Amino acid sequence: MTASSHNHESHEHCDHDHGPSALLTELREHVPFSVLAVTIGLIVAGTLCIFGDGFSRSAISPAEHHIESIDHAHNHEEELASDDHNHDNAFAERFFHLFHPAHMLFSAAATTAMFFRYERKWLKAIIIGLIGAVGVCGMSDIVMPHVSLSILGIQAPWHLCIIEHTDVVLPFAFIGSIIGLAAAGAAKHSTLLSHSMHVLASTMASIFYMVGPLGMVGWIDVLGKVFLFVVLAVMIPCCLSDIVFPLLMSRTNRDEYFATGHTH
């Protein structure tokens, strides 16, 4: 065997081993940005909730809290508790409907760009981006936070935006896919920023899905558990969406991605 043929075989062996190592490198590069984005999201969401709770309480006049008789005290307290619960739910739902569609846009853009970079079929790329966004966003923003609430012993009704508010979320997912097509030729490490924005939007949506049932500021009392739940709810689906899912959809993607060993 000649030296050149030996080198050729060694090169082929390295390329063959590049696949999993390239994917692990990709994931390893994104994990610190993901945890940082989750932490920032918790701080921002907590600040919004604290100020929102303060403003809502200051808006209620002392006269509204006056109990005219002992007989009506219990009923009055129940009414106040119910009003607080309804207010918390309304507050959280508004912010959820702000960040969940934004998450759809970032998710669709990242998934579409990843797919289109290696397989130039624009229609298929858009479809993959839409499927990835709807499925992954639903998993990270709704399913996993809902399961987390159950683990905390709180039973809450399901809120499936893709069914209840289709006209709100689908336009964001579609525009995100179009953006992903345009961004497919961007710089090598540009997706670190888009992925961080993706994770940040998902963090905010996941938190506000939990805020209503836990209370506007009540979730801060169990912040450690919420942090762990959100990290799992956000990082696993988002990393799978941005990297693994589009690669699984095309053998061309996998072969070229693993052969080059380049991060996107």
Predicted confidence at residue 33, as pLDDT, reads 73
Burial of 20 (0-12, 13-18, 19+ CB in 10 A): exposed
Residue from 215, 204, 220, 222 nearest 89 by CA: 215
Report which of residues 66 and 119 the model is more confident about: 119
**DSSP for 215-251, written as a single string:** -TTGGGGGHHHHHHHHHHHHHHHHHIIIIIHHHHT-H
In three-state secondary structure terms, 68 is coil
**Could you tell me which residues come within 8 angstroms of residue 195 by beta carbon, excluding any fewer than 6 positions away?**
30, 33, 34, 110, 238, 242
Average pLDDT over the chain reads: 75
Whether the predicted pLDDT of 76 surpasses 50? no
**Could you tell me which residues come within 8 angstroms of residue 117 by beta carbon, excluding any fewer than 6 positions away?**
184, 185, 264
Report which of residues 26 and 60 the model is more confident about: 26
pLDDT digits (tens, 9 = 90+) for 139-152: 889 999 999 999 98
The pTM of this model reads: 0.74
Whether the predicted pLDDT of 66 surpasses 50? no
The rounded distance, in Å, linking the Cα atoms of 150 and 144 is: 10
The rounded distance, in Å, linking the Cα atoms of 71 and 231 is: 48
% of the chain beyond a pLDDT of 90: 17
Report which of residues 75 and 29 the model is more confident about: 29
The mean pLDDT of 186-201, rounded to a whole number, is 66
pLDDT digits (tens, 9 = 90+) for 205-248: 999 999 888 988 888 889 999 999 988 887 777 766 666 666 66
Domain borders along the chain are 17-58+93-260
